[in-house]
Amino acid sequence: MRIDKYLWCIRYYKTRNIATEAIKKGHISVNNQTAKPSREVYASDKIVLRKDQINYQITVLDIPPNRVGAKLVDMYRKDETPKEAFEHLALLKLSKDHYRAKGEGRPTKKDRREIDDYIWEEKDDDDKKDE
């Protein structure tokens, strides 16, 4: 089976076209060699793919006949991605949440919504006092 089809079948990519583009960009290697979309994948091949700033390490256990359900994916691949990679991603997300200090620059969309919610709450409280 072609590697682009395999990655689509085991649900790492939503479409085959997205998988093909990732392979063309060099984000995927098979047995430590950069792959082309048409490269055949066999059982016991080791695939390393970079997606969402994580280097996933997959071992091919079997070739699926077609796209499989999410619950059946583990029958066809073994995920050997180290836990440190996921912890690193969590740290990156936390660091992005605090990219600027409060009160500096224009409010973001989230800040604006929080301000609007606060203002509406105060107006509701004032209306209740008037009654």
User: What is the tens place of the pLDDT at every residue in 89-124?
Assistant: 888 777 666 656 666 778 788 888 988 888 887 766
User: What is the DSSP-derived secondary structure letter of residue 118?
Assistant: H
2 CB-near residues (< 8 Å, 6+ apart): 37, 38, 39, 40, 41
Q: Which amino acid is at 55?
A: N
Strand pairing category for 77-79 and 54-60: antiparallel
Residue 23, Cα to own-chain centre: how many angstroms?
Answer: 16
**pLDDT tens per residue, range 32-49:** 999 999 999 999 999 999
pLDDT of 111 reads 82
What is the value of pTM for the model shown?
0.67
The CA–CA distances, whole Å, from 86 to 7, 13, 22, 90 equal 20, 18, 20, 6
